[in-house]
Amino acid sequence: MDMASNPRTVEEIFKDYSARRAGLVRALTYDVDDFYGLCDPEKENLCLYGHPNESWDVALPAEEVPPELPEPALGINFARDGMNRKDWLSLVAVHSDSWLLSVAFYFGARLNRNERKRLFSMINDLPTVFEVVTERKPVKDKPSIDSGSKSRGSTKRSNDGQVKSNPKLADESFEEDEDEHSETLCGSCGGNYNADEFWIGCDICEKWFHGKCVKITPAKAESIKQYKCPSCSMKRGRQ
């Protein structure tokens, strides 16, 4: 494994995360044919690694126990020919996201609570490998009408109960969109609006909430004609 440096600060760990993520995204998109070819089901248990120099490789797991770093999913090559190619790549992407988080928090084990929260917030501002691989970030010329059913983070509910999405979430406009909604706070946890998370607005008090904070999924939101937050639901006297 490449451990030329041992990132310790939030910024260093995030830089390491971003570089490894870039390598994994490259493997599963631009270099996907090369990656696919390396994952021969006849070979031994293989892992997909992303490195701090934005490169990637498919290799056997480290022999030492415990390893220097948390290990990626083992044996990703075995299911290659038994699944639809797109589904297999999506599955590898999900495992890659899990590995990236485990590595980041392995380095961040000594951070304090606020530093860990800041690190996760920075990580959460980036689309996941899964979102990139499955193209769940809408492109500019393709309005994201069905984004709610795809768990797109840009889905928000308007006051008339309709689910609306922000079609301006192409990668190049991502930061601009963040700034536009940066003052929106979750009515439950007080966290900032993040364009890559699902949010829902209460039609009564008009406050916004992380879907996860009020246990509402994008799919569930599609079937709700008028959403009442937990607080408003308890105030039965209000319409």
Residue 53's alpha-carbon distances to 1, 6, 8, 70, 101, in angstroms, are 12, 14, 17, 18, 17
**Spatial distance between the Cα atoms of 130 and 56, rounded to a whole number of angstroms:** 16
Residue 35's alpha-carbon distances to 79, 91, 178, 192, 223, in angstroms, are 14, 14, 33, 37, 40
Who has greater pLDDT, 212 or 50?
50
Q: Quote the radius of gyration of the chain (alpha carbons, Å).
A: 20
Residues of the chain with CATH 3.30.40.10: 184-238
pLDDT at 174: 46
Residue 7 has pLDDT above 90, yes or no: no
**Spatial distance between the Cα atoms of 37 and 27, rounded to a whole number of angstroms:** 11
10 neighbors 42 (Cβ within 8 angstroms): no
Average pLDDT over residues 105-131: 94
pLDDT digits (tens, 9 = 90+) for 126-165: 999 999 999 875 433 333 334 343 333 444 444 444 444 4
pLDDT digits (tens, 9 = 90+) for 195-236: 677 888 888 888 888 888 888 888 788 788 888 888 888 775
Six-digit token string for 238: 């209000």
CATH superfamily ID and name for 184-238: Zinc/RING finger domain, C3HC4 (zinc finger) (3.30.40.10)
Instruction: Tell me the pLDDT of the chain averaged across its residues.
Output: 79
For 226, phi and psi rounded to 5 degrees?
-140, 115
Average pLDDT over residues 96-104: 96
pLDDT at 227: 84
Give the 3-state secondary structure of residue 202: coil
Preceding amide of 72 cis, omega within 30: no
pLDDT at 181: 55
Residue 187 CB neighbours (<10 A): 20
What confidence tier does 58 reach under pLDDT thresholds 50, 70, 90? Answer: very high
- Give percent above pLDDT 90 in the chain: 49
